[in-house]
Structure 1
Amino acid sequence: MSTDIRIKKGLDLKLVGEAQAIIAVVSRSQVYSIKPSDFHKVTPKLVIKEGAEVQAGEVIFYSKDDEAVKFVSPVSGKIIEIKRGEKRVILEIRIQADAQDTFVEHGKNNPNEMSADQVKAHLLASGCWPFIKQRPYDVVAHSGDSPKAIFISAYSSAPLSSDVEVALKDKVASFQAGVDALRKLTSGKVHLSVNGKSNSILSGISGVELHKVFGPHPAGNVGVQIAKINPINIGERVWVVAPQDVAIIGDLFLNGKFDATKIIALAGSEVANPQYYAVRIGAQMKEIVSGKLASDNVRIISGDVLTGAKVTADGNLGYYANTVTVIPEGNHYRMFGWMPFAGADKHSMQRTALSFLAPGKKYKADTNLNGEERALVVTGEMEKVMPLDIYPMQLLKACLASNIDKMEKLGIYEVAPEDFALIDYINTSKLEAQEIIREALDLMIKEVG
């Protein structure tokens, strides 16, 4: 039996280049990369040196603030470079991969026969713990905490994002094992949300409370689902895990190995044949996109177009990314672009283009901002795409003022940067709302904890 979640506020941004449900294997990268910056607020402490040989699943560094949380190599090979920035901050660990992986063996285990402490210790020792993130603050969960509930959103509503149904079609048993393990970590429920418009392959998963989600993006955001199911109050913690990461956790228990393989969607208007590929976490982007792009003047994004990070062809797939999106670079300008209705090929929620006449049309979006930041905030604009029961404009103002009391009253504990991604897209003032929220959450971590 399931509980429906229906969202009315939001926006489905329809873009050209959706990935076809075909899965291929990407050529093995020569070099893989782990970036501590993927794990927000984690200060790494290295346990290896340049030149060291590592196995897949071997510990590379741990968190200085929570030493039980370990981060491991996605492949076996040799540490060829440790990049550092100012004040010797670790920027990247580069691993030259072997032709074939050798794994650290953790042993097969049945999570149903293990205690909560045993499951937690197994996840921490194997390097699977960083897949578990905490709300509030959207950071890696602290190993000493106990959440009131765990949430898994198996419905991605972001534009051109990876379809969970495709990515997990051969991983249902692993997903079930991952759920069985996660159930041990909370005295509350494990909530699983799926697309309400289709018959999900995960509908038969046991040990979860199933929710069918309906509505436009950001209906698939786990923060929206938490707010509808079991909102976060001051002092409370909930944990969230992405569905493919649940399957990786399940594989650990079923096979005794840390297998960092994911099924990612290579999508976007500049991809010749958008489809899915099996890759390892940290793979080189050039191996993923080489020979697959329709042009050279492109923006490669590790993630979706609303929340992903810009990378170059020499960069690497982000640790949590399940999508690689390629769209045209916005380095061109339109004559009289400020004029209303100046282009039939542009999408706008504000009716400054003709897109409202063709609501089902797909668009070839680029990275052009079509303007710069303005000293203007249109009242009521942000609320149209914010399904959470908060006042987004007022919360952003409180964040900019670093007013902790107001931020608490206006719902800072309920949000993550991704919940403001659509506001980045539609707001007339061109504010970087996600950046503002991230800085505010960091302030809350520092001042409140």
Structure 2
Amino acid sequence: MSKDILIKKGLDIKLKGTAEKTSEKAILSNFYTLRPEDFHGVIPKLISKVGSKVKAGEPVFYDKSNEDVKFVSPVSGEIIEIERGEKRKILTIKIEADKTQSYVDYGAMDLSKADADTVKTRLLESGCWVFVKQRPYDVIANPNKAPKAIFISGYATAPLAADLDFTLKGKEKELQAAVTALGKLTEGQVHVSVGKSANSPLAELSGITVHRVSGPHPAGNVGTQINRIDPINKGEVVWTVSAQDLVIIGELLLTGKFNAERVVALVGSSIEKPRYFVTKIGSEVATMVYDKGISQDANARIISGNVLTGKQVKPDGNLDYYSNVITVIPEGDDYEFFGWNKPIFNKISTSRALTFSWLNPKKEYDLDTNTNGEHRAFVVTGSYEEVFPLDIYPMQVLKACMYKDLDEMEALGMYEVAPEDFALTEFICVSKQPHQKIIREGLDLMIKEIG
């Protein structure tokens, strides 16, 4: 039986460049890169060194604070470079892929007989545990603390997000294996959210509680769904898993092989032919972006992820470990003369002061990265609450993080939030404050001081 969730507060940012529902194999990358910075809070300890041969699914490094959490190679090949920064911090681990791929065989698992400890051990040793995140703090889950529930969002509402109904099609066996295994790790429920009118492969799985969600972004954010379904109180933990990561987990359990294959949407107004590619985690973005995508000299920004929460990558950069979208939009390095003092028809705004996007809510826009203003002190307008559906006060939470009042942060609901929950408030902020950065720093302070 499904339960309906209607989100009224939010904002749909409609951009040009939605991917056509056609997929093709990306050009095979010669090099794949692991970046420890993709795993927030992890201090990497190397297992392999330059010149080491690794198989797909073989551990490359582990978390210094928890040696059981291992990070594996997405491909088989040779480690050719380990880039370090200040204080010998590991920045990237570059792997040259073999022409013929070989895999570590962890063995297929009979889920009908497996218990929680067996499942947990398999996920940890195979590198699949990194796909399991926890709230509070939005970090890789602590395997030593059981969650009260597990949440999976199969409803993507972010601008130009990959259509999960399309990318998950035909993966029902893997999805079922993954949710069956995850269900053994909690005494609570496995909550799966799908679109209200969608025909999602996730909706037909057994052993889950299905929620049909409707409303503007951030209705698809797992944080919004947790807030509506089972809010987090002090001392409680919930786990979250991305829908596409379920496929990798499920395939590992069924076949014993870590297959880092991922369906990635190449989107954005700077892309000539937006579409889907089948590639692997850590692959070179150039294998997709420059294949009938954009010209080499285009003045565009490449983002691994969506425009609200993604990371900027260089043309020779690599796909983020958790991303299933590559967005390419114009670089906002030009300025309008008196742009603040004339009617605006080609930009999105929640304000009606000289802006007219509210007259045509279905219009698609060609936006660039220009912030259209400079950083300044907070201006109290009440606009954050219009796009923030969680039952907490966004302005007060942000200020508590800035002046580092832990008691106030706890009282205001910091245990529930992640940086992505504040992406929309950052987008509409007239003060141009970096909301996601402020929340991330606040959560890091809580981890350090409270644990």
Verify same fold: TM over 0.5.
Answer: yes
How do residues 27-42 of structure 1 correspond to structure 2 at under 5 angstroms?
27-42=27-42
CA offset digits 1:365-406 (Å, max 9, x no partner):
100010111224133111001000001001111110000000
| Alignment match, 2:189 | 189
Q: Residue 378 of structure 1 contacts residue 428 of structure 1 at CA under 8 Å; is this kept in 2?
A: no
Please name the residue that 1:85 is paired with. Answer: 85
1:344 Cα offset (Å): 1.9
Other structure's SS at 2:204 match: coil
CA 1:340–1:413: 2 relative to 1, 3 Å? farther
Following the alignment from structure 1 to structure 2, what is the Cα–Cα distance between the partners of residues 344 and 148? Answer: 47
Moved more, 355-364 or 36-45: 355-364
Give a deviation string over 1:51-84, Cα, whole Å, max 9, x none.
Answer: 0000000000000111100000000000000010
Checking the alignment, whether the CA contact within 8 Å between 2:155 and 2:220 is kept in structure 1 is: yes
The CA deviation at 1:214 is 0.7
SS in 1 for 2:66: coil
Give the partner amino acid of 2:150: I
The one-letter code sitting in structure 2 at the alignment partner of 1:280 is K
Question: Which one-letter code corresponds to 1:346 in the other structure?
Answer: K
Post-superposition offset of 1:287:
0.9
Is it true that 1:420 corresponds to 2:429 in the alignment? no
Q: Is the 8 A contact 1:154 1:193 kept in 2?
A: yes
Partner residue in 2 for 1:408: 410
Q: Does 1:439 align with 2:441?
A: yes
Alignment of structure 1 residues 261-340 onto 2, 5 Å: 261-295=261-295, 296-340=298-342
Q: Aligned pair in 2 of structure 1 residues 71, 383: CA closer, same or farther (>3 Å)?
A: same
- Counterpart of 1:315, as a letter, is G
| d(CA) in 2 for partners of 1:133, 1:122 | 17
Query: Retained in 1: the 8 A contact 2:378–2:433?
Result: no
Amino acid in the other structure paired with 1:381: S
In structure 2, the partner of 1:47 is: 47
| % identical aligned pairs | 56
**CA–CA distance in 2 between the matches of 1:198 and 1:127?**
31
CA shift for structure 1 position 348: 1.4
Q: Displacement, 1:289?
A: 0.7
Change (3 A) 1:360 1:145: same
Summarize the alignment of residues 75-114 of structure 1 with structure 2, pairs less than 5 Å apart: 75-114=75-114
Cα deviation digits, residues 319-342 of structure 1 (max 9, x gap): 00010000000011112111141x
Cα separation, 1, equivalents of 2:450 and 2:144: 17
Per the TM alignment, residue 200 of structure 1 is displaced from its structure 2 partner at its CA by: 2.0
Match of 2:138 in 1: 138
**Structure 2 CA distance for aligned equivalents of residues 390 and 340 of structure 1:** 35
Residue 142 of structure 1 deviates from its aligned partner by 1.1
The alpha-carbon deviation at position 112 of structure 1 amounts to: 2.4
- Note closer, same or farther for the CA distance 1:256–1:376 as it changes in structure 2 (3 Å cut): closer
Correspondence for 1:371 among 370, 373, 396: 373
What is the alpha-carbon distance in structure 1 between the residues aligned to residue 440 and residue 36 of structure 2?
17
User: In structure 2, how many angstroms separate the alpha carbons of the residues matched to 1:49 and 1:375?
Assistant: 47
Partners in 2 of 1:395 and 1:374 — Cα distance? 18
Deviation at 1:346, TM superposition (A): 1.6
Q: Which runs of 5+ in 2 are unaligned?
A: none
SS of match in other structure, 2:339: coil
Kept in 2: contact 1:112–1:181 (CA 8 A)? no
What letter is aligned with 1:355? S
Q: Superposed, which structure 2 residues align to 1:225-244 within 5 Å?
A: 225-244=225-244
| CA distance in 2: counterparts of 1:180 and 1:376, whole angstroms | 46
SS in 2 for 1:68: strand
Per the alignment, residue 129 of structure 1 pairs with: 129
SS state at 1:395 partner: helix
Q: Map Cα deviations across residues 181-228 of structure 1 (whole Å, 9 max, x no partner).
A: 101111110000001122322221000000000100000000010011
Q: Is the 1:116–1:185 Cα contact (8 Å) retained in structure 2?
A: yes
CA distance in 1, matches of 2:342, 2:93: 48
Structural RMSD (CA): 0.9
Contact 1:109 1:254 in 2 (8 A): yes
Q: Alpha-carbon deviation of 1:294?
A: 4.1
- The aligned amino acid for 1:256 is G
Q: CA deviation at 1:288?
A: 1.6
> 2:162–2:265: 8 Å Cα contact kept in structure 1?
yes
SS in 2 for 1:324: strand
Match of 2:119 in 1: 119
Q: 1:292 offset after TM fit, Å? A: 2.7
Note the 1:148-159 alignment, pairs <5 A.
Answer: 148-159=148-159
Query: For residue 346 of structure 2, what is the aligned residue in structure 1?
Result: 345
Unaligned runs of 5+ in 1: none
Range with greater deviation from structure 2 (407-416 or 286-295): 286-295
Kindly provide the CA deviation profile for residues 218-270 of structure 1, in whole angstroms up to 9, marking residues without a partner as x. 00000010011110000110000001111110000111100000101100001
Query: Which amino acid in structure 1 is aligned with residue 113 of structure 2?
Result: E
Contact 1:66–1:143 (CA<8 Å) still a contact in 2? no
What is the count of residue pairs matched by the alignment? 448
State the 1:353 CA deviation: 2.0
Q: Note the C-alpha offset of 1:420.
A: 0.2
